[in-house]
Amino acid sequence: MPKILACWIGFTDLRAAQQNGTGKDGLGPIAQAVSHRQFDEVHLLNDIDDEKTNLFTSWLKTRTSSEIFTHKTNLSGPTRFAEIYEAAVSVINDILASHSGDIRLTFHLSPGTPQMAAVWVILGKTRFPAELIESSVQEGVQTTSVPFDIAVEFLPDLLKGSDGRFEKLAAGLPSEAPAFSAIIHRCQQMKQVIVKARHIALRSVPVLIEGESGTGKEMLARAIHEASPRRQHPFIAVNCGAIPAELTEALLFGHEKGAYTGADKSAAGFFEAATKGTLFLDEIGELIFPTQVKLLRAIQEKEIVRVGATSPIPIDVRLVAATNRNLIEEVNARRFRSDLFYRIAVAVLRLPPLRDRTGDLNPLIDHLLDRINTENAGEAGHEHKQISVSAKNFMLHHPWPGNVRELQNTLLRAAVWSSGPSIELEDIRDAIIPTGSSTDQLLGRPLGDGFDLNEIVEKIERHYFQRAMDQAGGNKTKAAQLLGLKNYQTLTNRMKKWGMA
């Protein structure tokens, strides 16, 4: 596996070359690294004139047998985060495109400005997993340990400026909300959902959580409960779609002895069990009309009547409901009562599907794999698993129609089935269960209201281009043939259009 070093040329390196490594800077960071470690290739990014670059590389070649490549960039300043980021990503993408198999990347943090080092840290811990090294005259060459992870897919937007409106929205929140820390997220959409959820958690008004299956609706509901004044009282979760229609009212509101065949004793329902706490009704759209009527009355009057009883029982319950349906469409189709909808939809939170959560996949994969390793550590035959770069890249381009639940189950299957300590690309491919839902999500979207045809075309092309490049082992000619394109140049041009080097 080729070992490749990437770094910026710094002024300390230029001085070291001028002094032939005999000055106070010694050999300089780059020459010191290549003298103490063996690399197959050394890629040098620079924003200096060609004469100085050529003098430095000529001197460096006397210190190493590694093949040296230079990459001229144009920065408006050595501290411009966005420009540094774009230049580094472009060079690393070119390096990856020139190698058909796996490579071992190393980023050198010492040469260049602190901003250049910061970008290497972010890239090395997220988008392009790499070893991070630093060097000095006193300490020599050392691997750097960085104890944090930052999702990089949304970095350009982050570097161009903070979202002032979002900061205003966040102002006034409680200083701590540990209940939400388990919800792994980096994207702006999820941040806004969490901000709204933290605001509404302090109140007792009903909440409606909308989102596709597997997006984490129950996890968000639990977080709202744990961040609320009711956290010392029960959180009762009920899947309305899993209850037989004939038992729904008895289970929700309770029943008296003899109320129906088999009711040999009185029993409290879910509402009473959740007294002073939170009742979470998942898939509320599955409730039949008669039950919807009684639920509406319970919310309005703050009391329930057990099946077989005549006397009402006061209730003090915070209601959180969830659905993967569009309840407005259900109301229009007369499958859900409009008056009940407006009662439960006081605060509405919409969880985005995983495919729209730009920047969240990378930290989610790492978090879920860590959890799998932790939970299975004591199991016989379990081996601590890591994920290869090619496997993670494949996962980052998969649409995940089953959302976070599908992502977690796929990782678990791959961890169980993989034969070695590393989960490889084929392990992930074998672990994914094919479905037709991703096509429906692309072809069945409503027109208008933010519809973007270019975005859909980009997603389709990115998906198939990545699959073809993976299957072809990085060979563009073969990938073009797999896609039915006339030549590899067409493939290259289209990939450049979508920012895929």
Asked if 249 and 376 sit in the same domain, the reply is no
Greater confidence (157 vs 235) lies with 235
CATH of the domain at 323: 3.40.50.300
Give tens-digit pLDDT for 245-280. 888 999 999 999 888 878 889 899 999 999 999 999
Least confident of 6-15, 30-39, 466-475: 466-475
pLDDT at residue 147 in the model? 57
Greater confidence (285 vs 493) lies with 285
Residues in the chain: 501
The count of domains in the chain is 4
Q: Is the pLDDT score of 152 beyond 60?
A: no
Helices (H), 376-452: 389-396, 403-417, 425-431, 437-443
Going by their DSSP bridges, the two strands 140-143 and 41-46 should be labelled as unpaired
Going by their DSSP bridges, the two strands 318-323 and 3-8 should be labelled as unpaired
Average pLDDT in the 327-333 region?
Answer: 89
Tell me which residue of 134, 139, 80 sits closest to 106, measured CA to CA.
Answer: 134
Asked if 68 and 203 sit in the same domain, the reply is no
Measured from the Cβ of residue 270, the count of other Cβ atoms closer than 10 Å reads 20
Asked if 287 and 373 sit in the same domain, the reply is no
Indicate the pLDDT class of residue 157, thresholds 50, 70 and 90: very low
Q: How many DSSP H helices and E strands does the chain contain?
A: 22, 15
What is the distance, to the nearest Å, from the Cα of residue 123 to the centroid of all Cα atoms in its chain?
15
Check: CB of residue 44 under 8 Å from CB of residue 69: yes
In angstroms, what CA-CA distances link 286 with 212, 335, 399, 468?
15, 9, 27, 41
pTM (global) more than 0.85? no
Q: Is the pLDDT score of 170 beyond 60?
A: no
CATH of the domain at 18: 3.40.50.10770
Give tens-digit pLDDT for 131-151. 999 988 888 889 887 654 444
Asked if 196 and 322 sit in the same domain, the reply is yes
What percent of the chain lies above the pLDDT cut of 90?
A: 50
Asked if 479 and 406 sit in the same domain, the reply is no
Q: Is the pLDDT score of 481 beyond 70?
A: yes
Q: Is the pLDDT score of 337 beyond 50?
A: yes
Final residue belonging to a domain, choices 410, 438, 466:
438
Q: List the beta bridge partners of residue 141.
A: 135
Tell me which residue of 197, 195, 200, 198 sits closest to 168, measured CA to CA.
Answer: 195
pLDDT at residue 127 in the model? 83
Give tens-digit pLDDT for 106-118. 999 999 999 999 9
Final residue belonging to a domain, choices 306, 332, 352:
352
Average pLDDT in the 416-444 region?
Answer: 76
Which amino acid appears at position 32 of this protein?
Answer: Q
Q: Is the pLDDT score of 58 beyond 90?
A: yes
Asked if 425 and 493 sit in the same domain, the reply is no
Average pLDDT in the 186-194 region?
Answer: 89
Q: Is the pLDDT score of 169 beyond 60?
A: no
pLDDT at residue 41 in the model? 94
Asked if 124 and 24 sit in the same domain, the reply is yes
Indicate the pLDDT class of residue 450, thresholds 50, 70 and 90: low
Q: Is 312 left (phi over 0), alpha (psi -120 to 50) or beta?
A: beta
Q: Is the pLDDT score of 489 beyond 60?
A: yes
Domain range enclosing 84: 3-157
| Paired tokens of 111 | 């040469």
Give tens-digit pLDDT for 371-422. 999 888 877 777 889 999 888 888 988 889 999 999 999 999 999 888 889 9
Final residue belonging to a domain, choices 157, 179, 199:
157
pLDDT at residue 97 in the model? 85
Average pLDDT in the 292-307 region?
Answer: 93
Q: Is the pLDDT score of 338 beyond 90?
A: yes
Asked if 129 and 172 sit in the same domain, the reply is no
pLDDT at residue 442 in the model? 58
Of all helices (H) and strands (E), which one includes residue 314? Answer: strand 313-314
Greater confidence (88 vs 483) lies with 88
Asked if 419 and 347 sit in the same domain, the reply is no
Distance, CA of 213 to CA of 407 (rounded, Å) = 12
Asked if 108 and 170 sit in the same domain, the reply is no
CATH of the domain at 359: 1.10.8.60
Asked if 139 and 214 sit in the same domain, the reply is no
Of all helices (H) and strands (E), which one includes residue 473? Answer: none
Q: Is the pLDDT score of 438 beyond 60?
A: no
pLDDT at residue 488 in the model? 79
Asked if 386 and 464 sit in the same domain, the reply is no
pLDDT at residue 172 in the model? 46
pLDDT at residue 441 in the model? 53
Indicate the pLDDT class of residue 155, thresholds 50, 70 and 90: very low
Average pLDDT, the chain: 85
